[in-house]
Structure 1
Amino acid sequence: MKKGLLITVSLVALSLVSCNKTESGNKNIIKTDSSETTIVDNKGKIDSSTVNSSTIEVNGQKTEKTDFVYKATDGALVKVVFKNDPKESTVAITSNKKTFTLEKKETKDGETIYKKDDMTARVKGDSLHLEQGNNIIELKRTKI
């Protein structure tokens, strides 16, 4: 019985000593540097409705991402991410856990047009006009 008690006490003491965790975290994780950017309109005024914006520079080439929240006429909120890099310019529209990514096709008269297959997005100012087949959805940029 003394041996059993001695073994039990030893196991408890060993488990208490060996379970000492540190809160320092994993030192092998690489941290990315994301700098905040200020988005300005054509007149140089700061656009305060920007939700999140970042610019990353790799080998002298800048990639810029800007996130906005738009509101549909039915009240649904939609996340819209504009991405500009040297290779492509896209808009990613996320609603109801579905994301549609459209490529920039042209810019004229202050309106930018993005297309993919039968979906077209027209962005002008604070509005985004989304067309897919016969469906038309009007979105307005919101301030959170």
Structure 2
Amino acid sequence: MKKCFFIGFSLISLVLINCKKNEGGNKNILKSDSSGIVLADNGKVDSTIHYETDVNGKKYIKTDYVYKATDGTLVKVVFNYEEKTMSVKSNNKTFILDKVESKGHETIYEKMDMKATVKGDSLILDQGNNIIELVKTKI
């Protein structure tokens, strides 16, 4: 009887020790970044992307801006980070450019002969012989 009790107790002890929950998790799985920060093509944080905070304190990516040209013309620019595109709307015309390259401090969009370079608060549109410099407004 003592032997059966001792064997049973040992078996239960072994099961409890081996089934102990591991709090560390699987060390071979990389943790995903749930902060929502968009990375540039070189793996660094893309500084051309602006983040806003809503009334509840939740961080989100701002996607639409109004830029002002040197002649005073206002241009609406909408960035779609999921589709990697940028649309530029001016004079009831909309141009959609595809993201080509992102270095972290500068992002380049192109479509046919039009090229846009976003660097901080500035946007430079280059279309053939025309170069238009735009600056982000606070509207």
Matches within 5 A, 1:88-103: 88-103=83-98
Identical positions, percent: 62
Aligned to 1:15: none
The CA deviation at 1:92 is 0.2
The CA deviation at 1:108 is 1.9
Aligned to 1:8: none
| Stretches (4+) displaced over 4 A | 45-48
* One-letter amino acid matched to 1:83: N
RMSD: 3.2
Q: TM-score, normalised by structure 2?
A: 0.57
Relative contact order, CA 8 A, sep 6+: which one is greater? 2
Aligned to 1:68: 65
CA contact (8 A) 1:104 1:114 kept: yes
Aligned to 2:107: 112
Task: Count residues with an aligned counterpart.
Answer: 91
The CA deviation at 1:109 is 5.4
Cα distance in 2, alignment partners of residues 139 and 79 from structure 1? 11
String of CA shifts for 1:55-82, please: whole Å, max 9, x gaps.
7xxxxxxxx6711000000000000000
**Structure (1 or 2) with the greater strand fraction:** 1
Gaps of 5+ in 1: 1-36, 49-54, 56-63
The CA deviation at 1:84 is 1.2
CA contact (8 A) 1:65 1:83 kept: no
Matches within 5 A, 1:2-41: none
CA contact (8 A) 1:77 1:95 kept: yes
Aligned to 2:133: 138
String of CA shifts for 1:70-121, please: whole Å, max 9, x gaps.
0000000000000011xx3000000000000000000125110000000000
String of CA shifts for 1:12-38, please: whole Å, max 9, x gaps.
xxxxxxxxxxxxxxxxxxxxxxxxx9x
Larger radius of gyration: 2
